[in-house]
Amino acid sequence: MVLTRAALLRPGAKPLLGLLCLLPLAWLVFAAATDRLGANPAEALERALGLWTLRFLCLALAVTPLRVLSATPQLARFRRMVGLFVAFYALLHLLAYAGFDRGFDVPAMLHDIAQRPFIFVGTLAFVLLLLLAATSLQAAIRWLGAARWRALHRSVYAVALLSLLHFFWMRAGKHNFAEVAVYAGVIALLLGWRLWQVARR
Ligand code: HEM
């Protein structure tokens, strides 16, 4: 265990995590290039990128509980990187939607945002994510002050709830909720742990 904790502090640990976080994208590029994405590759790619955004979001929310429960403070140095990967996959998901579904036609996308509630909610989550990514540097903490910065970054839970609603609404049309329920369970656990910590204090 001591060995593992020391390994987490090695200079190579962050680049290694970065490479691991790029694996889903590498797989999707490989699958697209070798025709493994099924009958509708554009839809499969867009959906897979949405799911990976949600998975990285769950991972980002899990860093602090894991750090506290396993008494491994070294894990804190990876939180920002995982958070930035959430924004990265969300941007790719948005670009896939913009390119494949709307041919980068901005008025058509704005119409979608106004007319389709699940797109509106996803866009809201994405804008919040961008705000969090833009203020993730040390300089932003100094500029905002620690208390305001912490309050702003608590909105990552709002991002999680909006993402879940986006997913739920999208699947509601197909009456297919099994996968949504799994992510709802994971996010409820992570949010519940957080609320329990606040209540204990
Ligand atoms: C934090 C932000 C977001 C997350 C976590 C997210 C996540 C997801 C997930 C999990 C799915 C369902 C995938 C599946 O059924 O397998 C999905 C679908 C979809 N998302 Fe997002 N999304 C986000 C933002 C956005 C934004 C900003 C847009 C567009 C403006 C968008 C457009 C779509 C569309 C069009 C689909 C349905 C694709 C289809 O029917 O094939 N999403 N998203």
Q: Is the CB of 94 under 6 A from ligand 1?
A: yes
Q: Which pLDDT score is estimated for 1?
A: 59
Q: List, as own/partner pairs, every contact residues 170-179 make where C-beta atoms lie below 8 angstroms and the sequence separation is at least 24, other chains included.
A: 170/118
Q: How many Å apart are CA 90 and CA 120, to the nearest integer? A: 14
54 is written with which tokens?
């949600």
Q: Is the CB of 53 under 6 A from ligand 1?
A: yes
The pTM for the full model equals 0.95
pLDDT per 10-residue tile (average), the chain, 201 residues:
77 95 98 97 98 98 96 94 98 98 98 97 98 94 94 96 97 91 98 94 81
Q: Which pLDDT score is estimated for 128?
A: 98
Q: Is the CB of 168 under 6 A from ligand 1?
A: no
Helix extents (H) in 70-105: 79-96
CA-nearest residue, atom 36 of ligand 1: 47
User: Which residues, other chains included, contact 74 with Cβ-Cβ below 8 Å and sequence gap of 6+?
Assistant: 5, 8, 9
Distance 53 CA to ligand 1 centre (A): 9
Q: Which pLDDT score is estimated for 2?
A: 58
Distance 54 CA to ligand 1 centre (A): 9
Q: Which pLDDT score is estimated for 3?
A: 55
